[in-house]
């Protein structure tokens, strides 16, 4: 399966600031996704990152809060904007080579907001 | 909408015990089903999958069978090890690849 690198692996941020998380894959993939895992909880899809076009957001998530870029088939970024303590979570990138292939996950970014 | 329900945890077993983690789903179509595992401090790893009814997914001694009649995908292992301690997530997807996860089951194996 693809090797997925997420950066940073963890960070502690001040409220009101923004952080950009990077997801790099070692091979071209069709599908890239961003998930959030709140403390002790399951995973929730934030958005599907579409190459060359705007991301598709799930209900409850908006572009102003979670802008996403996907400039090519191996790279995507998620920005968490104007952070508050409620944004403290693990943010995970996942990829699938094609629509019919299973998703594989990066190790996640552990984000704490003070 | 689609949903996944897992047995509540945490689950604590002794080494070499038999493991079952129950998972049932609700879906309008014919989903693909997955088990993912999350070891402490790590991301999710795909453990096994099944894409149609009666398929059996297996990996590392774990098995799960896609049961359409009971809408279930229970995870089993005949003899667990301490290294199996992790959080296990059942999930489904259909069509556009959006994964819908269950709440996760924390498994602890004592030596």
The tens digit of pLDDT for each residue in B49-58 reads 999 999 999 9
Task: Kindly report the nearest CA distance between residue A104 and chain B, in angstroms.
Answer: 7
Q: Which residue has the tokens 């998972």?
A: B23
CA distance B58 to A14: 44
The tens digit of pLDDT for each residue in B46-88 reads 999 999 999 999 999 999 999 999 999 999 999 999 999 999 9
Q: What percent of chain A has pLDDT over 90?
A: 84
CA distance B83 to A112: 28
Q: Choose, out of A92, A104, A105, A111, the residue to mutate when testing the contact with B (most B CBs < 10 Å).
A: A105
A92 at interface of B, judged by CB pairs closer than 8 A: yes
User: To 5 degrees, how large is the angle CA B62–CA B64–CA B65?
Assistant: 150
Nearest CB to A103: which of B42, B99, B104? B99
């Amino acid at each position: 399966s693809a090797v997925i690198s997420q950066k940073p692996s963890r960070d502690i941020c001040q409220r009101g600031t923004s952080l950009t998380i990077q997801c790099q894959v070692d091979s071209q993939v069709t599908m890239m996704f961003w998930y959030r895992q709140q403390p002790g909880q399951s995973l929730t899809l934030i958005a599907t990152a579409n190459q060359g076009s705007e991301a598709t957001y799930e209900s409850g998530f908006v572009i102003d809060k979670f802008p996403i870029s996907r400039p090519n088939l191996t790279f995507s970024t998620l920005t968490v904007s104007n952070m508050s303590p409620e944004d403290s979570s693990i943010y995970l990138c996942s990829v699938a080579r094609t629509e019919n292939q299973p998703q594989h996950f990066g190790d996640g970014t552990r984000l704490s907001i003070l | 909408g689609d949903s996944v329900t897992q047995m509540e945890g945490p689950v604590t077993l002794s080494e070499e015990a038999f493991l079952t983690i129950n998972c049932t789903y609700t879906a309008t179509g014919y989903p693909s089903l997955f088990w993912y595992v999350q070891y402490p401090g790590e991301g999710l790893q795909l453990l096994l999958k099944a894409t149609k009814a009666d398929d059996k997914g297996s990996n590392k001694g774990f098995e799960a069978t896609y049961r359409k009649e009971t809408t279930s995908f229970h995870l089993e292992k005949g003899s667990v090890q301490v290294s199996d301690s992790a959080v296990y997530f059942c999930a489904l997807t259909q069509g556009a690849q959006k994964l819908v996860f269950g709440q996760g089951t924390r498994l602890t194996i004592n030596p």
